Amino acid sequence: MIAPKMFPRRNARILTGIGFLTIAGLMVYKTVGPFESTKNPEALHGPRAKSARDDAADLLTQSPQHLRKQKEYENQILANIQKMSAHKAMQRRMNHDPMGVILHKRPSLLQGLGRVRDMKEQAGSVVQRSVVPENQLKHKIVHLDLKGAPPKVEYFKKLFPLLHSFGATGLLMEYEDMFPYWGKLEFLSAHNAYAKGDIADIIELAKKSSLIIIPLVQTFGHMEHVLKLKEFAELREVPNYPQVVCPTNNKTLPLIKMMIDQVMQLHPGTDWLHIGSDEVYNLGECTRCQQYLLHHQFGKSDLFLHHVRSVAKYVKENYDVQPIMWDDEFRKIPLKAMEDSKVGEVLEIMVWKYSSGIMVDLRSDIWEKYSTVFGGIWVASAFKGAANPDSYITNINDRLSNHKEWMEIFELYKSTIPFQGIVLTGWQRFDHFGVLCELLPQAVPSLAVNLMYINERKADHGALVKVGDMLKCSSFINLDLQYLEYANKCDFPGSAFYEVSQKLYILKRDINTMMKNPHVTGWVSDYNIEHNFVSPQHAEQGLQDLTMLLFDYGKVMNEAETALSDVFDEYTVKEWISLNVKPTHTKLQKLHASISKLQKVKYWPRRPLDSTETKEL
């Protein structure tokens, strides 16, 4: 599908193509018909011009048999065009994702011949949508990464029913420092963490929307929120790095058990607990671990397996709950070591990959190893937060490609692997110390599109229109930021911030275009401004949109603050504005002030510009 502003140019090409083929078809027909003389270009000039025009007029009054044959031929040409376009559309979907979809408007042939198949599918979509595909993934879990930026409980009240309508069956809640730890662990909670009553409300809201909750507790890697603190610094595997806990420290397991106890106390009745343990970058590096490895004749893999099995066993034996763990550390562990550790008796595995190339990175031998060891296997995609650590807007096409690859994996292995379900991760920070990235409200359309694809294996016009209707979008859903021309207007929980994020993206792109204008790069550089040596004419030509962009940017900054306040607390609002809006706004203000000052300059010094004369001026 294509953005509206691209229609006129493409339609012109399509009309030209249809006109050419139709005329060509008539000319071919006339080589065997009564008007053969007109096939000669020379016949349209000179004395015979009138005869040619008469012949052309006769085309409109030829016999019914000729008209019927002509019509049949034209229909045949159009059918071939449609067939060819549908084939190309299929190829595009195999190799590329759509750029967007126009809503509430049935596309005609001239609005994109590549939509022919979509139109046919849309016509029968009511029947098709009611059919649940066989061997569907049972669980479609939405990951809510809450660290350092907790959405308001009131927002969840509006969001959870929508997630259920998208086809979600549960939530993976990664609280981290947003969990209300108490007693000896109260220092693990941020000052703006949820209260115990908030957790109870969240669980009740999820239950009302038929969403199960799987809490996540980090127990090995990514324990920054614990190990950053002075009180727990001694548990670090590497003294200067607060990412990984030391598995051989006698205080480590009691701490982890206490964290699990408190989380489980506030989540009664849950069937799963995710114990994290991904990206354990520093393993077996401290002196204590080195001595432990030497004494037990262990390798680092054995040390890893021993720790995660101990944690999983504690969860399973004390709470009758099934532990789940990220898989990345298991990829490099030999099958025999995993079998000897009996880790598969207490753990289910969650295989994650958020970028392209899943088939390459997760080869068949890895799947064979996992299916041999584990009785339950989950997969994890990403609907947001998997691009750049400072990204503030989600490119849906990238996320859709990730989910398409995962569904290919599912189709390939579903007969041999006990897939439990899929978790659509939505990272809000890359880790505890990372900046905010791709906040939840602006990624709701991405989540909707990808849940739709998982459920129906479709991302065609009909499926996307359905998503647009559910999100109450009025005009257009953009899937590829490369083609974003205007902000999409919708009406779902957090849609105001979705619109603001798009406006900000468009403005930043326009500002970047302005700053790369040759008039600016060649005559209005920082060096020129610093030395009051700017060409007024080039400054006016290059920065003619500066005042307007500065005004629009200030307006978007105010809109962002209002939109964010509907979802997040004041700390998250302030952090996001400081990271994503203020730096550019400040730069524009300084540039505007500098140019306003330089416009008053009427005389300029002789070079060199660093001379005493210049400085005095």
Tens digits of residue pLDDT in 314-330: 999 999 999 999 999 99
Express as a percent the part of the chain with pLDDT over 70: 77
Tens digits of residue pLDDT in 81-135: 565 555 445 444 444 445 676 665 433 333 333 333 333 343 343 333 333 355 6
**CA separation for the pair 448, 453 (Å, rounded):** 9
In the block, residue with structure tokens 């400081």: 578
Residue 554: its H or E element: helix 546-565
Residue 207: both structure tokens together: 């239950």
- What sign has the CA pseudo-torsion 549, 552, 558, 560? negative
Domain-embedded: residue 461: no
Same domain? For 559 and 602 the reply is: yes
Is residue 396 within 8 Å of 446, Cβ to Cβ?
yes
Q: How many CA atoms does the CB half-sphere of 282 hold within 13 Å? A: 19
Residue 564 CB neighbours (<10 A): 24
pLDDT at 11: 38
Per DSSP (E only), the strands in 93-245 are: 100-102, 139-145, 170-174, 212-216, 236-238, 241-245
Same domain? For 154 and 99 the reply is: no
The residue among 456, 491, 515 that closes a domain is 456
Catalytic choice (154, 186, 231, 279): 279
Is residue 280 within 8 Å of 221, Cβ to Cβ?
yes
| Beta strands at 100-102 and 348-352: parallel, antiparallel or unpaired | unpaired
The residue among 399, 429, 456 that closes a domain is 456
| Three-state secondary structure readout of 373-391 | HCCCEEEEEEEECCCCCCC
Using DSSP's 3-state secondary structure scheme, residue 324 falls into strand
Tens digits of residue pLDDT in 193-232: 999 999 999 999 999 999 999 999 999 999 999 999 999 9
Domain-embedded: residue 488: no
Residue 174 CB neighbours (<10 A): 24
Residue 279 annotated among the catalytic residues of the structure: yes
In the block, residue with structure tokens 């290919």: 408
Domain-embedded: residue 599: yes
Mean pLDDT, the chain, whole residue set: 84
- Full domain range(s) for residue 185: 139-456
The residue among 423, 456, 489 that closes a domain is 456
Same domain? For 445 and 507 the reply is: no
Residue 352: both structure tokens together: 């994650």
Tens digits of residue pLDDT in 574-600: 999 999 999 999 999 999 999 999 989
How many folded domains does the chain comprise?
Answer: 3
pLDDT band (50, 70, 90) for residue 614: low
Domain-embedded: residue 556: yes
pTM confidence score: 0.79
Tens digits of residue pLDDT in 483-517: 999 999 999 999 999 999 999 999 999 999 999 99
Peptide bond into 608 cis (omega under 30): yes
- Cross-strand partners of 212: 170
Query: Domain holding 352: CATH number?
Result: 3.20.20.80
